[in-house]
Amino acid sequence: MNYRHVFHAGNHTEVFKHAALTLILERLLQKSSPFAVLDTHGGIGIYDLNSEEAVRTNEKDAGVNKVFGKAISAAPMYVEVLDALNEQSLKVYPGSPELVRHALRENDRLIVCELHREDGLLLKERYRKDRRISVHQRNGYEAVGAMLPLPERRGLVFIDPPFEREDETDQIAIALQAGFRKWATGIFAVWYPIKDAHLGDSVANAAIGAGFNNVLRAEFCPYRRDGVILAGSGLIVCNPPWRIDERLQRLCQELAALLGGNHSSWSVKPASGP
């Protein structure tokens, strides 16, 4: 599965993923001490929904178009950023770096990686004047081992790969193992697309196999899983913030009403091993 963000900006999986990300950010903001976020696959930060790539797939119609202008009480930060970037009509969509940037306070930091050359250059240019943000054109999986632990000792590693490689889950497992060795108390969140149950099982097993004892698995699917279409997406959260499961349940309930079809489904539960 090739999931380069620019072709899928604002689709239903992006809405779930990014709304869930803001729930973690809100929890980090509840303490006054600084936090840091390592975003391993940053993309370009903000996406033009009228670009050739976005128009070609037109996936926003089944995603952000259905939620823009609507209240999502479970994810107020997500709604706030969408509204801030789009005054009257929906024109651009925030990726994970922009959502994190919105949450940063003066002493918080974002370290964002992007291996794709053109996307990395766009990302560097976008945030070059923000001293809180550093952009690295490098392999995000390797960055997990190289850049942890974060000096702030509090924060999030957000792993949001394009799933272009056949060994993607192996790379995720290696990164989580390195992350656990370097920063066992950090929050790690891994996103994955859903066509069937197999990929989610593999990512959950990778998190448990890395050594994390507290692993949460959240999935939201507006469509039936048939092994062919992109039915939805999931998020594995290691060391989940307190009561984040309740917030995710509320989010899924609201998104089911906005995005869900007759075969929609969702679940938020502790991840189990093989």
Average the pLDDT over each of 85-89, 151-155, 162-166, 197-201 and give the range with the smallest value: 162-166
- What's the confidence (pLDDT) of residue 4? 56
Per-residue pLDDT at 15 exceeds 80: yes
Nearest residue to 127 via CA among 44, 250, 8: 44
pLDDT value, residue 8 = 82
- The mean per-residue pLDDT over the stretch 90-105 comes to 97
Tokens of 270: 């502790």
Q: What is the mean pLDDT of residues 94-113?
A: 98
List the catalytic residue out of 160, 167, 170, 226: 160
Strand residues in 114-221 grouped as ranges (E): 133-136, 155-159, 187-194, 215-221
pLDDT in the model for residue 5: 65
Which domains are assigned to the chain? 5-269 (3.40.50.150)
Active site residue 160: yes
C-alpha distances (whole Å) from 127 to each of 97, 132, 190, 207, 274 are 9, 9, 24, 31, 42
Distances (CA, A) of 208 to 151, 173, 194: 25, 9, 19
Q: How would DSSP label each residue in 138-163?
A: S-HHHHHHHHPSPTTS-EEEEE----
Q: What is the pLDDT of residues 105-118, one digit of tens each?
A: 999 999 999 999 99
Task: Give pLDDT tens digits for 212-267.
Answer: 999 999 999 999 998 889 999 999 999 999 999 999 999 999 999 999 978 899 99
* Amino acid, res. 117: R
Instruction: Determine contact, residues 156/186, Cβ cutoff 8 Å.
Output: yes
As to burial, measured by CB atoms within 10 angstroms (0-12 exposed, 13-18 middle, 19+ buried), residue 201 is middle
| DSSP 3-state of 84 | helix
Q: What are phi and psi of 163, to 5 degrees?
A: 55, 50
Name the average pLDDT for the chain. Answer: 94
pTM above 0.85? yes
Upstream peptide bond of 222 is cis (omega within 30 degrees of 0):
no
Residue 199 CA to residue 173 CA, distance in Å, equals: 12
